[in-house]
Structure 1
Amino acid sequence: MGGSAGNDSGGTLKIDDFEVRMDLTDDLLHMVFTFLGDIDLCRAARVCRQWREASSHEDFWRYLNFENRYISPQQFDDMCRRYPNATGVNVYGTPAINSLAMKAVSSLRNLEVLTLGKGQLGESFFLMVTDCHALKSLTVNDATLGNGIQEIPIFHDRLHDLQIVKCRVLRVSIRCPLLETLSLKRSSMPHAVLNCPLLRDLDIASCHKLSDAAIRSAAMSCPLLESLDMSNCSSVSDETVREIARVCVNLTVLDASYCSNISLESVRLPMLTVLKLHSCEGITSASMVAIAHSHSLKILELDNCSLLTSVSLDLAHLENIRLVHCRKFVDLNLRSSVLSSITVSNCPSLQRINIISNALKKLVLQKQESLTWLALQCPFLQEVDLTECESLTNSICKVFSDGGGCPVLRSLVLDSCESLTAVSFCSTSLVNLSLGGCRAITSVELRCPHLELVSLDGCDHLERASFYPVGLKSLNLGICPKLNVLHIEAPQMVSLELKGCGILSDASINCPLLTSLDASFCSQLKDDCLSATTLSCPLIESLVLMSCPSICPIGLLSLRCLPNLTYLDLSYTFLVNLQPVFDSCLYLKVLKLQACKYLADSSLEPLYKDGALPALCELDLSYGTLCQSAIEKLLTCCTHLTHVSLNGCVNMHDLNWGFHGDMPSEMHTHYGSFASSVGDVFLPTEQSDRLLQNLNCVGCPNIKKVVIPPMARCVHLSSLNLSLSTNLKEVGVSCCNLCFLNLSNSYSLEILKLDCPRLTSLFLQSCNIDEEAVEAAISQCTMLETLDVRFCPKVIQTLEVHILYLSSHHYCSKLFLRVSSFYLQISPLSMGRLRAACPSLKRIFSSLAQT
């Protein structure tokens, strides 16, 4: 799609002789090229003749931009001849800017915009500019004008915009009858003479050498001036500002920041709309009298006015006010129907605020430590943030309740307002309320029917809470350990958490849509409270009463009012029998009975004798004291259970689900030694598949042998956890769908027999099993991906040999081996062989030998 140019005639093809013409019309190509910059246009010109001609069109080169690029005077002269109709030139940062600039103004008769800088410009250039009649905008940035000790004249009849920024010059004289915008910002001239009768915008910011008289003379020579920036001109006085205001009657924007000598006490600026007075040490409360006469003022900025103590303004057009880092500021009183933005920050002495506005929608007053009084009449205010206003008292609640002046308030943040003790809101508009970190609060009363979110994090001294009524859908009061009285009426609430409210004794909960209630560790809750809650919340599906010892069988009978109850947690209670649960919770799916050590051994008999709780899928009996016989009958007869947890059960002994004589011959080898125990095993009367998927027996110290043969029909078992069973010696498992097996920290394990073709994760940490047992076990696990044998001293050598075998037979294509031997070191050479033998190996954790 292009060619290479050459100078010889002996076979070298020129771009004009050989090229592929793009199938684009000239008009379409012209349209596409309008989106390209000058560099991309130059690149496009190398493609073919059509593109070169199209990219050279003068429409694309109206503005010649060489900013911070190297271009010689000859090259620039060539560009000016090629594009004589160019209207803009930028040679900022190029070498020899004086000659390039003079060439531009002399060659380009249509030149309207010229930008240059970073160099030295002689007086001759400015004299020549006078003859560039089309010029409208001239920008000179960071340059030395003349020889530094002479006056530079800038005379032009049509110039509209002139920027002399950061330039070094002794004196400048500007006579431009049509000039409207002039900037001398950061320039070093001590004198400036202006003859610009139409000038509207003057920027002399940071002209430190300009005297007070020079600034006054310059500004007063421009009677139509509308905007004046004289920030950082420390010599400016009140007299100068007063004279400027007298002459420039149209002045609307004034920036006098960092002018330490002005106070504005006797100045009148009636047309002013923007006033910036950052870091003006002379501005005090008396200055506000003068500012109050600026009836058109829209924007007022008073940052870092260190002597300002109060602001009281009634300005009909004020829209925006800033007060930041005013360390002595105490009182703020604002009245404006259009006030929409208030920025008050880091004013440590601020105590009182009174705001009247019809436009204010958001108010942020964070970290005003001394603020004690706040009055608002803001009918459209929606968001208020008073975070860390530590001195606010309970009276603030009236401001944000109905009738307090904020009728449509939706969000209120009072985080870390540590002086609040009793919070009471009655608001029909409030949606979000945050009281996080208000540690002194002891009482909360909310009558906010549309309240959807409330945060009480850190309110650890809360004793009484009333939500009546509220629109909350969920509520967490588990972070309020001292709560003892609770009243809730929430028609939309679906989830309530009271976990850890250990002294809660009086709870009235009226939430007709509630589906989940967690009352864990509410040790003072009694049967009458539970009965009342079940009557008022009939849709509860999940109920957690863990460690609620005051709940008795009478209270459990009230659960019959909950026809949708499917999850019940009664762990750590003093229940003796479960008959009230069997009678009341007919559709229960999950029952947790952890550490219910007073349950009788016969308490579970209705499950497998009478068919109680037919929908039960998950049962947790961890840390209980049921006898071995009761556990065996449960596991044998309740084949409909999918999840069973027996962690820490001291009476959990050998788990042996036996086999029949028709077992496949390959399994006889594995399980033949256990034939004598068949008579002691409880087998289901009908040989149907067990639905068991997950069995956890973690930390059962009396388990010595686990046998799950094919005859047990555990075809759905996918996870088996026997870790921390310190006396476990033998494990034999044949489950076609088992994926996860954890035997970690079973220190006595010696025999491991597996027939689990889908096993992907096997954990054998800290097991004293020998090499042959591991090799034989994993030989039938062809999908094994994760094998953890950390701290297994007898396994390392066998693993190396077996991985070589598996790799050669493609049995284990994704094996993920973790090896971290504490007792035995593996040499780097052995690790290299492991990786070479099994390329899919992802990680090897090991203790390498020190060389």
Structure 2
Amino acid sequence: MQQTSNFFITKTMESYELKDKDYRSWKPSYGELPMEIIQHIFRFLSFPDVQVAGKTCQRWREASFNTEFSTKNIIRFSKVCLSDRSSPAKDFLMSNRPFRNYHFEEVTFGPIKNIMSHIGNTAEEIIFDNVDVGDKQFYAIMSLLPKIRAITITRCSPLFMSGSFLDNIDDRLSVCINFCRIQDLSLKDNQYLSDAILLRITEMMHSINTLDLSGCHIAYHNAIQRRFYPNDVDVTPSESILTFKFIMSIISMHHQNLRSLNLSNTLISPPSLIALSDLSFKGFLLQNVGLANCRQVNNISLQSFLKKQNKLLTLDLSGTICVNDSCIDVIVKNLPLLQELNISGCINITNNGSSLLGELKYLKSLNVSRCDGIQSEGLTNGVAAKPNATLLYLQMAHLQVCEEAIMVLAQNLPELRVLNLSHCVNGVTDESVQCIIQNLRWLRDLSLENCFRITDVALTGINISQVVLGPNSQNSIDKLHQFSLSSLAEGYISNDSNHSIKISLRSKAEEDIVRDAIRKKAMVATYEMNSIRECDMEGYSIKELQGLKSLYLGGCNKISDVSLKYGLKFVELQNLSLSNCQQISLTGIEQMVHACPSIETLDLSDCESINDKAIQLITVNLTRLRALHINGCSQLTDHTLDAILVNCKNLQTLSIHRCRRIYTDIEDRLSEMSTLRDLEIDNSSNIDNACLLRLKKRLDY
């Protein structure tokens, strides 16, 4: 009996050990997750991340094809010859994904019936930006887009230059059915747009929700209008001029449905703006208004207009110089629902006006960049006067603010997603950046460009004076000690035998350079000896902003490789600018490319320590790289071009000005890159159409 019991216990133990071993060897199979869970995960990812995730297995690939994600994406054809007979049109025809949004930028159209029919099956929004298309071809394209809801035609001079666009009744009938479904219309930056063309387009549309005429040549003055319309009885629209008279008639026609109006960068006059405000009696209430850089508008007309638009959610007045404190007072009192306000470049706004902005309870986005009259008090007594969890986006570049003000902003605006402090030289210091890192953990976009006072301490929290070197670092300590003493003594102490004294002839700037060199030497020594420990990081490291996607440090020339090793560790970082950071070298790049694998745009302009090996590491490890700027990197040679050609499979923009050691014909070498769209080089006009470059080189197209 005892023997049987022992046998049973032994078998039980063996079975338990076997199950325990199986449990420890078990690994989760993420490919077998329910489709709903995979799609829920994808909702938190950017489009490039979804693309990469879709390559892991067949199930995740199917999840990435979900309509929910494809409707948010824009298919962009840029600087190519689009033809059914060649790529990329032939490649796209094989796709069955239902995309909704398309953008054609500087495209030359060939035979495109097949590709446009394919696009027309699902397209709801389309943008034509500086495309080479004639009116007949445009009619043919529009006839193939039965589901279109929004259209943008910008910088398309050949289309409107003749003035005969849609002047034929048969042409209008061919596109009328599709045009009548359009609700959002943008014709911005078209210098040949006329009354006749605008009327022909809009009279086919049943309901206009959005109208964008920004940057168009609109005649507002009565004298000019009378020249083309001498008799009020004669209302035949002119093919030579675009007047506010006809724009007003179109707005009146659609005033019940029109919710967004953009007249930015036009010469809209005070009487015209007052005429718009008078329409409010007919129920003309906008939600989004753009009046940026409207220099002819005066204070009275602007206030009259704003007082009658109490449903506004978005208001852009950037560069409109008449905006002052009284206008801000009108905005605060009459626009209680306002969520986005852009008053950048409004130099007449002072701290008094800025202090009122804290009363906008629903304000999510604020841009006060280049408002010379706004200083520290205007912000600390305004949007940051008390804890504010509503404001998400704050642009305040080129402001004269102090260090304490930035700290108050960081403490009272905890939900910020975007913070732009570019050129805030006085306020952006190591201490204020540390406060930002400590409090703004939701930041996605941080700009500190040309804030040259910050050092590695700001980004790493490392106090170099507290670093304790390891016991095996005596040789390095001696070398560091000798360097520091000799550098500090240089110019002050001479040969003791004759007791002569050298007086330094350095300027203050030169002394700062020497001091920075000594500091960098100390940091590099500790860096090479890996002597920095967690206990030495007394402050906060920028790597704690785990969701950061854009970081701009251009002109912060005291940033060194130490920041790249101990600070920049972002899995989601997509845009990084380190231009004019001369202390960045191969050592830091080697760490950065592994810690930030998702970078798509990288600017290393004027980083003179960057060499071919650094570019090799960048091109091999940053597989998503789309834009690379290496202007003024004087150590780069032809080997850099080799690395770019071999490793960069997605590169679209390359800027290599002032790289004087690159001798080969850059155009010949880079014509092999089928993805390249923008190339900026020396001694040649910028090649902004890579398709023409390939034509010249007799390549595929």
Same fold (TM over 0.5): no
| More helix, by proportion | 2
TM-score category, normalised to shorter length: 0.3 to 0.5
If you compute each CA radius of gyration, which structure gives the higher value, 1 or 2? 1
TM-score, length basis structure 2: 0.44
TM-score, length basis structure 1: 0.37
| More strand, by proportion | 1
Higher relative contact order (CA 8 A, sep 6+): 2
